[in-house]
Structure 1
């Protein structure tokens, strides 16, 4: 005769706790756009980090593409909340429109981590963290390099990212802070290329067609910088005759520097931001204390050190 197994209330509680502890965390991730090359790298490294944890003590990520739509992104966050995920990671479409996302997550008691783009608000609410880089520093680094190469004299054009994004505002602010030290350098044109290679190429093509004279292009990201290089090449400009600066240090950007098509870029650590955001979300979901503002440093990429970033 088999002896029946009886669980005390304490034993049953411990058993259920161990089962819960063994379950992977479920984290919803809303990216502003899957089409953005830099963010594609962030997404890739996030996925790698999630898969690096041991089974039963890891993370399952559910990626969603907001397609540059603020309303769609909020809906994705609300769906994550409805699914009762353990944490949410958001790469915001519009850094000025994150209040509703934060409010929804806080009210649901779900930890929220912003990655790559920090909300505009100065102080983040409890339970919310951001893993970003100092965009002003990126603008300062690229402009200082170009100012030195120009000898403090010349005309430049600026290719802006999405105007609704504080990365655009802060990178351009950094550029202009350095420009304030060089009265001999003038801004010939300044327009948004919305982070896109094609738009960057079209803008520079238009300026060349109009007979605009400039010695350097300061782009808020590598994609627009590469577009500028394509336009200059198409116009028959000698390689390196116009200095081109980007930001991100994407594989395509690194190749452009190696070929002499770009003068400089500023490395934005996609892996650092990705790993940092997944780790932050994982720790918050476990009720661990973390730094709310995690800053991943930028690094200057020049022809002399470009090989170190490949």
Structure 2
């Protein structure tokens, strides 16, 4: 049987559609496994990550079901309950709640393995119970790699503009702190403006357009992700500015970001390895299903991407 992905936009109705008379529709064979995925919300990076999870399950000829929780913890909680009722062998979760709320999900680890991915579910992952693992990349590396390279390219001087992702997202908090800590090391560098763009290209576009309209002076723009970096570059172009006159950095090394790098408009990005995060999350889910011991957390390293090595990623 070829593995298959099921998608549904209305998570609360998932159980009714997946089950009829107590039987799972499109159910895997007795030998196959069923991996369910609850994505916190859809965006470019999480969609890429989901596609790699799907591919890793498909490679095993098993079944995967992926649904968005639409940034609603109550909906995610209901999805997990429905997945268990539908017979999921393991659940991969992009956590959307606070630490306190996410702890409610841990109770389900008594019934089914839970693999958390992309967003750390709790501050102290040593408190996660048995049958749960976090898969991600250590955010202490991401913003640090980005800003250190931007600083080097700027000869360790200049005004820095900073775009933060969702301020409730731990990755945004840590990436922002990484940038601030690097800038603080160098006497001839300073952060002159900082705003929250919520990871979004269109929000970054509006923010940077406003900065340029007001005449805010900056040489370097460090964004918490590539989508905001791209929005910034678009704003520069539409404001009559040459992006090449700035040093722009992001995180994720998405295809769109690599395209901007090929044009010479994006100076730096950092690969958050979606392919290996997705693959490793699935591998760990199967290990937990088979009651194998797995170290928690499981880190997938970040990689610095510049004009010297970006072509390698395009080939990959």
Q: Same fold (TM over 0.5)?
A: yes
TM-score, normalised to structure 1's length? 0.88
Aligned to 1:193: 197
Unaligned runs of 5+ in 1: 1-19
Written as runs of structure 1 = structure 2, the 5 A alignment for 1:225-240 is: 225-240=229-244
Aligned to 1:254: 258
Aligned to 2:288: 284
Could you tell me how far 1:43 is from its partner in structure 2? 1.1
Residues 1:208 and 2:212 are matched in the alignment: yes
Aligned to 1:38: 45
SS of 1:187's equivalent?
A: strand
Kindly report the root-mean-square deviation, in angstroms, between the aligned alpha carbons of the 2 structures.
Answer: 1.6
Residues 1:272 and 2:276 are matched in the alignment: yes
Aligned to 1:114: 116
TM-score, normalised to structure 2's length? 0.86
Q: Do the aligned residues in 1 keep the contact of 2:38 with 2:67 (CA within 8 Å)?
A: yes
Unaligned runs of 5+ in 2: 1-27
Instruction: Determine which structure has more spread, i.e. the larger CA radius of gyration.
Output: 1
Match of 1:176 among 176, 180, 185: 180
SS of 1:180's equivalent?
A: helix
Aligned to 2:71: 68
Could you tell me how far 1:125 is from its partner in structure 2? 1.4
Higher mean alpha-carbon deviation, 89-98 vs 222-231, is at 89-98
Q: Do the aligned residues in 2 keep the contact of 1:89 with 1:112 (CA within 8 Å)?
A: yes
Aligned to 2:25: none
Q: Deviations over 1:80-133 (max 9, x none)?
A: 122231111001224534211223x134x2110011222233112111101100
Residues 1:217 and 2:221 are matched in the alignment: yes
Aligned to 1:6: none
Distance in 1 separating the partners of 2:30 and 2:213: 63
Aligned to 1:11: none
Distance in 2 separating the partners of 1:209 and 1:70: 38
Aligned to 1:23: 31
SS of 2:115's equivalent?
A: strand
Q: Do the aligned residues in 2 keep the contact of 1:95 with 1:165 (CA within 8 Å)?
A: no
Distance in 2 separating the partners of 1:152 and 1:125: 44
Distance in 2 separating the partners of 1:48 and 1:260: 32
Distance in 2 separating the partners of 1:85 and 1:190: 43
Q: Do the aligned residues in 2 keep the contact of 1:95 with 1:117 (CA within 8 Å)?
A: no
Q: Do the aligned residues in 2 keep the contact of 1:136 with 1:172 (CA within 8 Å)?
A: no
Distance in 1 separating the partners of 2:284 and 2:79: 20
Q: Deviations over 1:221-275 (max 9, x none)?
A: 0000000000011111123111110000000011111111211100111100000
Structure 1 runs (4+) deviating above 4 angstroms are none
Distance in 2 separating the partners of 1:233 and 1:186: 24
Distance in 2 separating the partners of 1:120 and 1:87: 20
SS of 1:98's equivalent?
A: helix
Distance in 2 separating the partners of 1:120 and 1:151: 38
Could you tell me how far 1:280 is from its partner in structure 2? 0.8
Q: Deviations over 1:2-27 (max 9, x none)?
A: xxxxxxxxxxxxxxxxxx99521112
Q: Deviations over 1:39-78 (max 9, x none)?
A: 111111111111111x4xxx31111111122222122112
Aligned to 1:48: 55
Q: Do the aligned residues in 2 keep the contact of 1:155 with 1:214 (CA within 8 Å)?
A: yes
